[in-house]
């Protein structure tokens, strides 16, 4: 029954996020039409919306307004989609499939894909810079800084730079964790922290615990992704399977082996769950999402 309840919540939250994104993205009938059409093509009707789900779950923990969390959840998702559009381009990972359909530069062209990423990134910050009811300016500025740090040279963009520079290399575990804490983990961590910033003020201990959860589950998400790249097929993934191995990229599977990578994901999960324990039932959705992230492959 509890699992049924979670599935219902997850489905409703995904649908709500989709509706909000449809409203917040520019209409494809407005000029420049191709850019707006491509922004909607890349963002809508695809993906599991893991980052928005984490933001909403963190928002529930602090009693946040669903409307405010919805806005920041869409901002985080736009940053995520922009990164996917750019990562798939020929100058980066050069992929032709994303979320079960042709990548943006394939469906349109390289220049449009570049502009789509730029436009989604700036729209995300426009959303965060627009006043949020009941949230003071100082806290909203913290939100903007949190997302900027997670997205930039010290976060996602920096992690991607390390990833590109590491092709053909075998990184050791600390170096691999450093890269993925930036490339994948930073935005997942930001989603949790931003959701929490929409509600009651947390104590220092609560903030530390929530941040530790976000870091551990963000890294676990990447480890599971590495496992899926080996075990799942293209239809299941919605993107080209086996791409990391084909491109000779360092992964947790190439470093540890498949079984050990799965064990490491479970260790990260256990650590994340332990951090949430003092929150009790308030953290139920975050715990369920951690289960979901791990259960994607095993």
CA triple 9-286-125, angle to 5 deg? 85
Instruction: Give which of 244, 96, 118 is closest to 179, Cα–Cα.
Output: 244
pTM assigned to the model: 0.94
CA triple 130-34-37, angle to 5 deg? 60
pLDDT digits (tens, 9 = 90+) for 213-227: 999 999 999 999 999
Buried b (16+ CB within 10 A) or exposed e, 9-20: bbeebbebbbeb
Phi, psi of 130 (to 5 degrees): -80, 130
* 1-4 long-range Cβ contacts below 8 angstroms, 24+ apart: none
Residue 1 pLDDT: 43
Residue 297 pLDDT: 55
Residue 2 pLDDT: 60
Expressed as residue numbers, the domain containing 229 is 2-294
Domain at 214, CATH number: 1.10.600.10
Structure tokens belonging to residue 60: 């529930």
Residue 184: Cβ-neighbour burial (10 angstroms; 0-12, 13-18, 19+): buried
How many domains, in total, are found in the chain? 1
Under 8 Å between Cβ of 182 and 154: yes
Residue 233 pLDDT: 74
Q: DSSP character for 150?
A: H
> Mean pLDDT, consecutive 10-residue segments, the chain of 298 residues?
82 97 97 98 94 98 97 98 97 91 97 98 97 96 98 97 92 95 96 98 97 97 92 70 73 94 96 98 97 80
**H helices of the chain, where?**
2-24, 33-43, 50-61, 66-87, 104-107, 110-129, 137-151, 156-165, 173-180, 186-196, 204-231, 234-237, 243-246, 252-256, 258-276, 284-294
């Amino acid at each position: 029954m509890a699992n049924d309840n979670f599935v219902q919540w997850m489905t409703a939250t995904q649908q709500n996020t989709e509706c909000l994104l449809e409203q917040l993205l520019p209409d494809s009938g407005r000029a420049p039409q191709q850019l707006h059409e491509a922004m909607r093509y890349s963002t809508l009707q695809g993906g599991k919306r893991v980052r928005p789900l984490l933001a909403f779950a963190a928002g529930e923990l602090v009693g946040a307004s669903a409307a405010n969390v919805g806005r920041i959840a869409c901002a985080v998702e736009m940053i995520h989609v922009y990164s996917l559009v750019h990562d798939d381009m020929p100058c980066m990972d050069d992929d032709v499939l994303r979320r079960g359909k042709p990548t943006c530069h394939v469906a349109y062209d390289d220049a449009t894909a570049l502009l789509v990423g730029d436009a989604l990134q700036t729209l995300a910050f426009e959303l965060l810079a627009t006043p949020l009811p009941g949230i003071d300016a100082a806290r909203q500025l913290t939100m903007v800084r949190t997302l900027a740090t997670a997205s930039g040279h010290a976060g996602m963009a920096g992690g991607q730079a390390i990833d590109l520079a590491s092709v053909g290399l075998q990184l050791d575990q600390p170096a691999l964790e450093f890269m993925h804490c930036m490339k994948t983990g930073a935005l997942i961590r930001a989603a949790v922290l931003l959701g929490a910033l929409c509600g009651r003020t947390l104590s220092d201990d609560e903030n530390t615990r929530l941040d530790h959860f976000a870091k551990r589950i963000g890294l676990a998400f990447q480890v599971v992704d590495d496992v899926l790249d080996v075990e799942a097929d293209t239809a299941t993934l919605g993107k080209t399977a086996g791409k990391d191995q084909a491109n000779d990229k360092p992964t947790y599977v190439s470093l540890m082996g498949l079984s050990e990578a799965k064990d490491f994901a479970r260790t990260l999960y256990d650590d994340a769950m332990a951090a949430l324990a003092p929150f009790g039932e308030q953290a139920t959705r975050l715990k369920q999402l951690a289960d979901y992230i791990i259960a994607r492959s095993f």
